[in-house]
Homo-oligomer: A and B are copies of this chain.
Amino acid sequence: VADIPDSSFAVLGLVDKVPSSSGYKLTSIAEQSFAYFWPISRTLLYRELKRLERLGWIAGTPVRQESAPDKRTYDITGSGRRALAHWLGKPTETATTFRSGFLLKLFFGLRMHPPALAALLTDYRRSLEAQRDQLTEIVDRLEGLARARVARLAALHGLRTAQARLAWLDEAEAELREPG
């Protein structure tokens, strides 16, 4: 079993979760569910479906329709289920790919004149605040909804992250006010 990207497993997991669905339907479900922490474009999703079928992890069935275009629906296979379980079981190497455009700018930004540096921090603050507000709204809305437990936890993960970074901004601004 070669090197398969996480996006493949995202699609595989979706097929498992929502059986006998078309690529079209899976796309819209992906957009409404894990797109927040794992966005995936429609074209890529279709490509992954082909790959998964080629691997024998899912099986497609052509479906005739009259009041809509014909479609192809997918279901997970036994080996697909095993592959999914294996992927879920192995630890995620998270930290590796963290990339921050803001930190990159800050890195070069110290050579900017002070007002420009201040603007950089302010922009970051604005964007974190917007994130925080949006996520707070989502977390509140999903409160108590049993079906949306993980979605709420995912939003909460983002919220806690945003809050921590806002706190960091206070630290950073204080630090940078001191003469260096």
Chain B: which residue is nearest A127 at the CB level?
Answer: B94
Task: Report Cα–Cα, A9/B108, bound state, in Å.
Answer: 10
Copies of the protein in its oligomer = 2
Chain A at the B interface: SS class: helix
Which residues does chain B contribute within 8 Å of A42, judged by CB atoms?
none
26 contacts between A and B (CB under 8 A): A6-B101, A6-B104, A13-B104, A17-B108, A37-B100, A37-B104, A38-B99, A39-B99, A84-B108, A87-B105, A88-B105, A89-B119, A91-B126, A92-B124, A93-B101, A93-B127, A94-B100, A106-B153, A106-B154, A110-B150, A146-B180, A153-B176, A157-B165, A157-B168, A160-B167, A161-B165
